Structure 1
Amino acid sequence: MISIRRARPSDAGAIGSVHAEVWRSTYPGILPDDYLAGLSSWRLGLGYERSILDRREGHAVFVAVAGGPDLPSSLATESGQQVIGFASGGRARRKGLADGEVETLYLQEDWRDRGVGRRLMRAMGAHLRVVGCRSAMLWVLKDNPTRWFYERLGGRPAAHETVRVAGQTLEQMAYLWDPIEALLAATAPAPER
């Protein structure tokens, strides 16, 4: 069974591991190999622990956890569950494009194409609406091979800019859902038959 819930401080280490793993599988050829190899799950986890505890500006972190028959017993933790992905966000860090911002959405490669990313985006969209956001956006590297996912959810390209990552200048683009109900409609569960 895969469930989505609000992250707990005890999830931070697993979130850091997912972040490092996803960057290593998504950005070869885009970011330097030595930079990707040097990503520290532990250091990333410390940052996410602070992020989980920081609720200013409507900030929240959600995790996707797998357990039960969906999770091979070799991967189960003491709780019988494993963090397989996460999303974070809050009110937009910069004003102008949207009220709310999805800051991160990372999902382990083996768990893609199962609707988990869509469910994480729905959790973030619902949270942003609850904290008063009427629109939502996110930034993604233009060369990210999975950016089609945001297009399938109805995200409209709204801005481009360059950003420095690992000593390189890369182009990133913003996807926008305005009104936020467009994101919620695109991520709604399919009706049962």
Structure 2
Amino acid sequence: MIRIRKARPADAAAIAAVHIETWRSTYAGILPDAYLAGLSLPRIAAGYQRGLLERREGSAMFVATAEAEPGGGPAQVVGFASGARARRTLLAQGEIETLYLLEDWRERGIGRRLMRAIAAHLAATGCRSAMLWVLSENPSRWFYQHLGGRLVATDHARVGGVAVPQSAMLWDPIQTLLLATARADGA
């Protein structure tokens, strides 16, 4: 069973592990191999823990956990999403900053549920629109288009010493994202 809940500081190491595994599988051939190989679990976990402890106004992070088999130990973090007030307010009021999901857990509706959680949070904080940046070569960018995201801008981000093209996807109004992520059975 998959559960979506707000992230806690104690989740930082598991979140960092998902971050690293997702980047290595998704960005192979897009980002430099040496950069991906050098991703540091302790450093990334410390950054997430700091962020979870110092939550800036309007920010939130949600995790997707897979319940263990009975007697099989604690639930495993298999994905996460975060968002806050947009850094570039000319594009949108809210920004989905991350959405990472382990490859083995894709195509199960978990990404949609994480997107819904962060969109609902942004809407509850007064954001009437939402956007996100996705690397233009990210093979999962179709997911955002499938949810009704419209390409509204392009830019470059420096990652691992390399400039990589990125695309801004917009949902305006934010209700378009909430509707696109609603389950057909109303759950």
Give your verdict on TM over 0.5. yes
Structure 2 equivalent of residue 163 of structure 1: 157
Structure 2 equivalent of residue 12 of structure 1: 12
1:124 has 2:118 as partner: yes
Within 5 Å, give how 1:84-99 maps onto structure 2.
84-99=78-93
Structure 2 equivalent of residue 37 of structure 1: 37
Segments of 4+ moved more than 4 angstroms = none
1:61 has 2:57 as partner: no
Structure 1 equivalent of residue 98 of structure 2: 104
Tell me the percent identity: 63
- SS of the equivalent of 2:157 reads strand
The letter of the residue matching 2:134 is V
Cα drift, residue 191 of structure 1: 1.7
What is the CA–CA distance in structure 1 between the aligned matches of 2:152 and 2:54, rounded to whole Å?
28
What is the CA–CA distance in structure 2 between the aligned matches of 1:35 and 1:58, rounded to whole Å?
31
In structure 2, runs of 5+ residues without a counterpart are none
Cα drift, residue 42 of structure 1: 1.6
- SS of the equivalent of 1:56 reads coil
Cα drift, residue 169 of structure 1: 1.0
What is the CA–CA distance in structure 2 between the aligned matches of 1:101 and 1:43, rounded to whole Å?
24
What is the CA–CA distance in structure 1 between the aligned matches of 2:121 and 2:87, rounded to whole Å?
16
Cα drift, residue 94 of structure 1: 1.8
TM-score using structure 1 length: 0.93
In structure 1, runs of 5+ residues without a counterpart are none
Kindly provide the CA deviation profile for residues 100-151 of structure 1, in whole angstroms up to 9, marking residues without a partner as x.
0000000000000000000000000000001110000000000001100000
**Residue pair 1:51, 1:61 contacting (<8 A) in 2 also:** no
Kindly provide the CA deviation profile for residues 50-80 of structure 1, in whole angstroms up to 9, marking residues without a partner as x.
12123323001100000144x9x8xx5x4x2
**Residue pair 1:160, 1:171 contacting (<8 A) in 2 also:** yes
- How many pairs does the alignment contain? 186
What is the CA–CA distance in structure 1 between the aligned matches of 2:60 and 2:36, rounded to whole Å?
26
